[in-house]
Amino acid sequence: TKPRVVVARAVYPDVLAQLQTYFDIQANQDDEVWSPERLIATLRGAAGTLTTGSERIDAEVLSACPELRICANMAVGFNNFDVPAMNAAGVLATNTPGVLTETTADFGFALLMATARRITEGEHFLRAGRWTKWSYDLFAGQDVHGTTLGILGMGRIGQGIARRGAHGFGMQVIYHNRSRLSPELEADCKARYVSKDELLRSADHLMLVLPYSPAAHHAIGEAELALMKPTATLVNIARGGIVDDAALARALREGRIAAAGLDVFEGEPQVHPDLLAVPNVVLTPHIASASVPTRRAMAQLAADNLVAFLVHGKPLTPVNPEVLGDR
Ligand code: GLV
Ligand code: GLV
């Protein structure tokens, strides 16, 4: 008999069809977000699951589902997984690195441009029928080219953004990260390592691309915002919770920074009401990786991880390879 696999959210039908050749599939093509109770009830007896950021896999799920062996996340981030609990339970986690890097870096730049140049504010004004004349300062924003781009978190996506800024827009790129890049990568990205304080003080545009971890919670809060230039913009394509959204809304309202572009939010899909009330913020619904080819590649890689591990014993992109032991 085929192993049972739960596909916890809707995916491309042809990817589902591939999985059906290997597994007894229970799929959620209605795409409801299951409650934790429903998730546990559905995962009972399953060997694997394809998840998204909406499904939390924690000690409670793992202890209720002892037959579970792999959770394949259709995302590069995996803060919906309690990895220490998965390690303790011997459950493999996989993610989708690599396939979304350039698409997500493109989006970071799109959000930066829209934010600095007030593109969505201008569009709302036009659609509301309020455009009656040209004015010298109508939606005058901040320049992007030739300015200083600060990047917090210098993984693959951060490097993609650095290259775009340095090579395409003539920006001076500074970054802060837990560890420094190699001299070769720093040269390739034309990026200079600085302290977090210098990053906050010097950036004209600050891009957040670090993975979420408890240590990164509110990495940008009241004190950090206070160091930024009043003309600075902030872009978050990383994860909700890295920015203190209430503190950010206050800083935007009081003009302590110029504008923000946000693709991720604390408690999403809820958005802090104070952010919805300020005009100088561009808001998008967690779509940084959402190009058609990249979302297909992410679904395919998540599915391929399930087959590679449950059928062939060797996952492609494990997060916690230590659970494989010497199998
Ligand atoms: C999306 O946020 C991802 O982690 O891939
Ligand atoms: C994700 O791919 C990252 O390392 O930024």
List pLDDT tens digits, range 53-78: 999 999 999 999 999 999 999 999 99
- Please choose from 289, 291, 294 the residue to mutate so as to test ligand 1's pocket, defined by most ligand atoms within 8 A of CB: 289
Do 19 and 47 lie in a common domain?
A: yes
For residues 196 and 244, state if they share a domain: yes
- Residue 326: what pLDDT? 58
- Residues 115 and 170 placed together within one structural domain of the fold: yes
Starting from the CA of residue 294, give the closest ligand. Answer: 1
* CA angle centred on 103, ends 232 and 49, rounded to 5°: 115
120 shares a domain with 75:
no
What tokens were used for 24?
């007894």
- Relative to the CA of 100, which ligand 1 atom is closest? 5
Intra-chain end-to-end CA distance of the chain, in Å: 22
Selecting among 9, 239, 272, 295, the annotated active-site residue is 239
| Cis amide prior to 273 (ω within 30 degrees) | no
Atom of ligand 2 nearest to the CA of 97: 2
* CATH code of the domain in which 192 resides: 3.40.50.720
Contact 191, 154 (CB under 8 A): yes
Mean pLDDT of the 232-253 span: 98
Task: Let me know whether 34 and 123 are in one domain.
Answer: no
Give the count of domains, the chain. 2
239 included as an active-site residue: yes
Instruction: Compute the distance from residue 8 Cα to the ligand 1 centre, in Å.
Output: 16
- Do residues 238 and 212 lie in contact, with contact meaning Cβ atoms separated by under 8 Å? yes
Is residue 286 annotated as part of the catalytic site, yes or no?
Answer: yes
**Residues 142 and 241 both lie in one domain:** yes
pTM for this prediction: 0.96
Task: Indicate whether 327 pLDDT > 60.
Answer: no
Q: Is residue 271 located within the same domain as residue 300? A: no
Instruction: Report ipTM (2 d.p.).
Output: 0.76
Cβ of 294 less than 6 Å from ligand 1: no
Residue 192 phi, psi (nearest 5): -110, 130
Domain of residue 310 covers 4-97+292-324
- The mean pLDDT value of the chain amounts to 97
- Is the same domain home to 204 and 86? no
Rounded to an integer, what distance in angstroms lies between the CA atom of residue 33 and that of residue 52?
A: 10
Residues 177 and 123 in one domain: yes
CA of 75, closest atom in ligand 1: 5
In this structure, the answer to whether residues 93 and 106 fall within a common structural domain is: no
Number of H helices, E strands in the chain: 14, 12
Shared domain check, 297 and 277: no
Residue 268 annotated to the active site: yes
- What's the CA gap between 274 and 315, in Å, rounded? 43
